């Protein structure tokens, strides 16, 4: 193998177009399950926040924005506070969602901190 160059180049900016703070982790899991058509959906956890996100669909414009400007667009982020990590969340309706610990990701850590700062504000409609 010849010389291989590897470097880490995180996004420069994540643009959240809409977000909702759910009153509980269970409410977030219900929403994720319904939006996925009743399929099992995992949620992400970092720094006391559990969340899901929906990226803007891949188009040439989106790819260009990521490659040239380091910007990524998330059309929606749903989140709830969950101070302690749990590997599974189960609702009273027996919807079970795995919780993926992303606390090792600097990007997800920053997203979680930003979401915490949004506090009770709602960028969406819940």
Domain boundaries, the chain: 13-117
| Range scoring the smallest mean pLDDT among 39-43, 47-51, 82-86, 107-111 | 39-43
Mean pLDDT computed over 60-79? 82
Q: What is the per-residue pLDDT for 126? A: 39
Q: Are 19 and 75 in contact (CB under 8 A)?
A: no
Q: Are 26 and 81 in contact (CB under 8 A)?
A: no
pTM: 0.84
Mean pLDDT computed over 83-104? 96
Q: Are 71 and 12 in contact (CB under 8 A)?
A: yes
């Amino acid at each position: 193998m010849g010389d291989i160059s590897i470097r880490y180049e995180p996004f420069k900016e994540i643009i959240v177009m809409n977000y909702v703070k759910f009153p509980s982790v269970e409410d977030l899991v219900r929403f994720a399950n319904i939006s996925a058509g009743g399929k099992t959906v995992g949620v992400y956890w970092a720094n006391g926040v559990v969340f899901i996100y929906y990226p803007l669909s891949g188009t040439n414009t989106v790819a260009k924005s990521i490659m040239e400007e380091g910007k990524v667009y998330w059309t929606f982020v749903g989140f709830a506070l969950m101070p302690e990590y749990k590997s599974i969340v189960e609702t009273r309706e027996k919807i079970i969602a795995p919780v993926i610990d992303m606390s090792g990701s600097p990007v997800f850590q920053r997203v979680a901190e930003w979401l915490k700062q949004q506090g009770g504000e709602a960028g969406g409609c819940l």
